[in-house]
Structure 1
Amino acid sequence: MAAELPRITREALERLTYQKYGDSPTIRSYTKWKLFEENSPLKLPTEAKAGEVPVKGHVTFSGSEASFDLPNGVELTEGTLGLSQPEESRILGFHFYALKKAYRLRIRGDLTEPLVIVSHLSEKAFVSHHLSIEVENAKMPIIIYDMAEDGAKSFVVEMIAKNAEIELLTIGKHKSLSHYLLRASLTGKSRVRAFSAVHGGRMSHHREDYSLEGKESELLLRGIPLAIGSAVDYLTNVLQYGEESKSETRVHGFSYKNGWTVHRGTAKVFERAKGSSSVVVSEVTIMDEGSLGVSVPMLEVDTGEIENAAHSSSVRQFDEDALFYLRARGLGREEAMSLFVHGIGEALSEHLERLRSKARSATAELVEELL
């Protein structure tokens, strides 16, 4: 049964902080929260008209309006799954303070074509969108477009997968302020293969939380955060409770033209998750002088009965020797850089069989803007 829409008073909101600080370097604030404070629902309108949405979706949020053109087998109701609460942080407090209505999708059968979800804002306002997805005993692809052209937009996606196989492609393309949270619970023997390509805006806070609760549940997560004269704080968090569960997170970010790209990736294997494996690989490539790259992976294992556990981090400058090699063979600088970034995108997206062409197209669009 769907949870009621959480509410928060202005007085309770005032007491919240954006992040709770501790000893871990992953807790450090890399999001420019001051920008969200200056464009909060306490200062901006919390309603906006629908704009011209460049992508047609089965679920479309634009401004304060929502429209649905759902395929057979997808049931629509209202409410949330209760996986996120306003008291967690100030940004989630803002989200629920501004939220007018939440929607829930229930899927019980296979979908052969991608379910397309669009979240869009093109007005100077603080607008919240909230969608819950429950998938049980089904296989399906999902594509999420997260687009912020003006104002500040918060989009929260809650997901429960039970004995499900989901291929998830998330494309973030921002100009203004964006807060995105995907929080997923994998129960039963569920498998999720996710790819995220995020083009940062003025400030993009992108977070994905996965809880692997079922025995032999599995997550493959790939991501490309890209900041071109913009800022992306990209967070991935994986909690493994189920025995013999598997997770593998690989993120490769890029900073260019005074861009700010941060990846903070954490994974924790709990004591009862015996026989599990967990990998976190974080890389950021700085394409030019003046750009910032930060890579902070962290792995914590509470059980001695672990199949595999590894994490690695690297922040590096763009390989000028490789660029010189390609240019010496007749390629221009832009062609050589495009080839380099396309190669990274292909390597990260090759696990997505059904959505591979769309993943390639998304990466190509980002590369074109990079150049």
Structure 2
Amino acid sequence: MTDPQTSLTTDSATLAEELFAPGVGAQAGPPTTPASDTGTAGAGPGSHSHGGPAPTGSPAERFTSADPDDFPVVTGREEQWRFTPMKRVRPLLEGADSDARLELTSDLPDGVELTTVGADDPLLKGLPEPVDRLAALTRVRAGGATVVRVPAEAQLDRPVTLSLRGTGSDEVVWGQTVVQVGNFAKATIVLDHAGSAKYSGGVTVLVGDGAQVELISVQEWEPGTAHGGQFDAVVGRDATFRQVVVTLGGDLVRLVSNVEYAGPGGTAELSGVYFADETQHQEHRLWVDHATPNCVSNVVYKGALQGEQAHTVWVGDVRIRPAATGTETYELNRNLVLTDGARADSVPNLEIETGEIVSAGHASATGRFDDEQLFYLCSRGIDAETARRLVVRGFFADVVQKIAVPELADRLMGTIEQRLGALPGLEEQDVEAGELQPA
């Protein structure tokens, strides 16, 4: 096996699969019995629903609006908000107007345009609508958007990089970013968030027909940061959209990712890595709306948690509408709990309203290290702390390897390894010796 400090390997990913304790992480989700006065999501002739009653994270019809007043005031009892700590998100939900901005620096390949548009620009009128009150507030308060335009048939020689840094202002920062990629272009977009802020941002990626687009969003905020955001992707005919979300920093990060298809033959791959430390809350919600024939979606999110009151939430919703024949979809969430006192909530939802599909499925698992397997590694001369690092590295490897920017992938894995060594309680946990069975 190669040096774990310098590279990611297929072997390390395989090792993680072998060391993940079998039989853990029974699929989590809302009850399958409808609540009183509610219908079942997706109910109807020929429909199938994994997700329970309609007012869950996977409703039969999802309410959207660009007007914040169309949404009720958030109390924390709503299904969309029940996992979110209200005290931390309240400064964003109060919706105070602000002129504060993140510091923006950019690296643009030749041919890429970076500009700003006002709130009345026709481009913004045609974007997917906000799905909750915070996203609607963001659309109104941002007062316009930063727009990245990649021309049709462009083949960029390097990623488009937007570095967004919080300056520590007490005011809420509102932001909106729109990425337009022309037909048959190929582009990688990196949004790199750092610094300290109270930030609510919207990101929309418009993928032209036949285009190939990768969006990489990194949340490496400093302590004290609260970040709420809505990510939208509109995938054109025969286009491919890949999104990788990496969440490592901040006190509260709550990101909602939505995908819709503008034509048949589209593919969307949504991947994510998150690592929550003591008291951090990291929440990722996804919605993939299959309303067009012959489209593909694949979701893979992996998270690790360590420390008291570390909390992660993953909610994955996929809806296959009656017209979406030939759909192929799968979603997977796995969580690795490294210490006592951490909590991972995982809720996959799948609604199928036509039987004419290729395949559909979902899986969710949450578990701890298998002490017997760790003992096996230790018996081969690997110390307990190194063994744990190998497992975590392998656990994340298949997702991190999808990042098309090697130096960024190396940086993020280095941050994860630093976090692993920062908690004394991790190396203090003994590996229990078990009886080894012959191979």
2:362 to 289, 308, 311: 311
CA distance in 1, matches of 2:250, 2:77: 25
- 4+ long deviations beyond 6 Å: 6-9
Tell me which amino acid in the other structure corresponds to 2:335: V
Alignment map for 1:66-215 (pairs within 5 Å): 66=104, 70-79=108-117, 80-82=123-125, 83-85=127-129, 88-108=131-151, 109-123=154-168, 124-137=170-183, 138-147=185-194, 149-163=195-209, 164-174=211-221, 175=223, 176-215=225-264
CA distance in 2, matches of 1:189, 1:177: 37
1:17 to 64, 70, 74: 74
Tell me which amino acid in the other structure corresponds to 1:173: E
8 A contact 1:13–1:93 mirrored in 2 = no
8 A contact 2:104–2:164 mirrored in 1 = no
- What is the aligned partner in structure 1 of residue 392 from structure 2? 341
Which structure 2 segments of 5+ residues have no match? 1-64, 118-122, 422-439
User: How much does 1:116 deviate?
Assistant: 0.5
Tell me which amino acid in the other structure corresponds to 1:161: V
> What is the SS of the residue equivalent to 1:306?
coil
- What is the aligned partner in structure 1 of residue 60 from structure 2? none
* More off after superposition, 326-335 vs 194-203: 326-335
Higher relative CO (CA 8 A, sep ≥ 6), structure 1 or 2?
A: 2
User: How much does 1:337 deviate?
Assistant: 2.1
User: How much does 1:198 deviate?
Assistant: 0.7
Flag the 1:272–1:235 CA change in 2: closer, same or farther, 3 A: same
* More off after superposition, 202-211 vs 69-78: 69-78
- What is the aligned partner in structure 1 of residue 18 from structure 2? none
> What is the SS of the residue equivalent to 1:125?
strand
2:274 to 186, 210, 225: 225
CA deviations over 1:6-53 (Å, ceiling 9, x no partner): 9868xx49954378946xxxx46212133221465656x8344xxxxx
Flag the 1:227–1:270 CA change in 2: closer, same or farther, 3 A: same
User: How much does 1:242 deviate?
Assistant: 2.4
Flag the 1:198–1:91 CA change in 2: closer, same or farther, 3 A: same
Flag the 1:64–1:262 CA change in 2: closer, same or farther, 3 A: closer
Which structure 1 segments of 5+ residues have no match? 1-5, 49-62
Give the number of the structure whose alpha-carbon radius of gyration is greater.
2
* More off after superposition, 260-269 vs 89-98: 89-98
Superposition RMSD in Å: 2.7
2:379 to 315, 328, 332: 328
User: How much does 1:228 deviate?
Assistant: 0.7
- What is the aligned partner in structure 2 of residue 239 from structure 1? 289
* More off after superposition, 105-114 vs 287-296: 105-114
Flag the 1:204–1:35 CA change in 2: closer, same or farther, 3 A: same
1:46 to 79, 84, 98: 98
CA deviations over 1:198-255 (Å, ceiling 9, x no partner): 1142111022111123211001222112111111011122111221111110111111
What percent identity do the matched residue pairs reach?
A: 22
User: How much does 1:69 deviate?
Assistant: 5.3
Flag the 1:261–1:65 CA change in 2: closer, same or farther, 3 A: closer
Pairing 1:300–2:345 present: no
